[in-house]
Amino acid sequence: MATLLHLDASAEPEDSRSRALTAALASAFAPGNTVVHRDLHTDPPPHLPHPGLHWAPPLRTGGAPGPAAEATQRRLIGELLDADALVVGYPLYNYSLPSPLKAWIDHVHVPGLTAPSPISGSPLAGRPAVLVTTRGGDYGPGAPNAGRDHATPVLELILGEEMGMDVTVVGVGMTLAGRESPERARSEAEHEEALRHLRELGSRLGRTPE
Ligand SMILES: Cc1cc2nc3c(=O)[nH]c(=O)nc-3n(C[C@H](O)[C@H](O)[C@H](O)COP(=O)(O)O)c2cc1C
């Protein structure tokens, strides 16, 4: 039996594109497996309360973060380390990450615990992480906004390059295109293709833990 950590960060409760997409992966993964769902919007981690939390205890040089902050961090890191696979759904907000997802990253990216350091390797190396992003505009090659998405590159850097996870990005753009515009048809086609891809990924990850 495998475990999926399923994170959502959209502030939209009813009609969220990214939530629908991560749910498709989770449903395909679920049969015979465990899905742990953390809604980062309705149950957000606090802003990082102490800089010492960025380091494993033996690597810290400043004061102690305090027991409540340590307990929150232990819970978030524990969920990540216990999962065989991760799916994260997030809209682009102001060219960047939704702030609760940034707070989650600030808690779980810890050299010496989840990322390599002089005292450890990366316990997450090779584990699958699926990044599911939705964007109101067009960020494709040649579009005026190309290169202005500052959310996905950060997650690829932290989860992929730093923690060593095996990252796959599935994105849907132009979600704010008007009903009659040609971009609307492109966005709907991207959404259908993303759903198909995520269902296939979910059932594959559910069959092959780690
Ligand atoms: C606070 C806020 C900021 C946003 N900023 C951007 C942005 O910088 N670029 C963009 O393309 N879309 C932006 N959008 C639009 C969302 O990325 C888009 O509607 C997305 O599809 C929402 O995903 P969801 O349906 O999962 O909530 C913003 C939306 C909100 C609510």
Task: Give 58 Cα–ligand 1 centroid separation in angstroms.
Answer: 40
Q: For tokens 């290169």, what's the residue? A: 147
- Residue ranges for the chain with pLDDT beneath 70: 208-210
- Tell me the C-alpha distance between 64 and 160, whole Å: 29
Q: What pLDDT is attached to residue 208?
A: 62
Residue to mutate (ligand 1; options 40, 90, 93; most atoms within 8 A of CB):
93
Q: For tokens 């040609």, what's the residue? A: 182
For ligand 1, atom 4: residue with the closest CA: 93
Q: What pLDDT is attached to residue 24?
A: 98
Task: Give 136 Cα–ligand 1 centroid separation in angstroms.
Answer: 5
Task: Give 92 Cα–ligand 1 centroid separation in angstroms.
Answer: 5
Q: What pLDDT is attached to residue 63?
A: 86
Task: Give 14 Cα–ligand 1 centroid separation in angstroms.
Answer: 15
Q: From residue 187, how far is each of 23, 93, 119, 174 by CA, in Å?
A: 19, 18, 46, 5
CATH class name, domain 3-207: alpha beta
For ligand 1, atom 30: residue with the closest CA: 93
User: In sequence order, what are the beta bridge partners of 171?
Assistant: 133
Domain ranges of the chain: 3-207
Q: For tokens 């802003």, what's the residue? A: 47
Residue to mutate (ligand 1; options 92, 97, 132; most atoms within 8 A of CB):
92
Task: Give 172 Cα–ligand 1 centroid separation in angstroms.
Answer: 11
In contact, 160 and 121? CB cutoff 8 Å = no
Q: What pLDDT is attached to residue 150?
A: 98
Ligand 1 atom closest to residue 11's alpha carbon, by position in its atom list = 27
Task: Give 48 Cα–ligand 1 centroid separation in angstroms.
Answer: 24
CB-based contacts of 121: which residues, under 8 Å, 6+ apart? none
The per-residue pLDDT for range 15-52, each reduced to its tens digit, is 999 999 999 999 999 999 999 999 999 999 999 999 99
Task: Give 158 Cα–ligand 1 centroid separation in angstroms.
Answer: 22
The per-residue pLDDT for range 186-199, each reduced to its tens digit, is 999 999 999 999 99
Q: What pLDDT is attached to residue 74?
A: 98
Short-list 146, 154, 161, 141, CA closest to 98: 154
Q: Which residues are near ligand 1 (CB < 6 Å)?
A: 10, 12, 16-19, 91-95, 134-137, 175-176
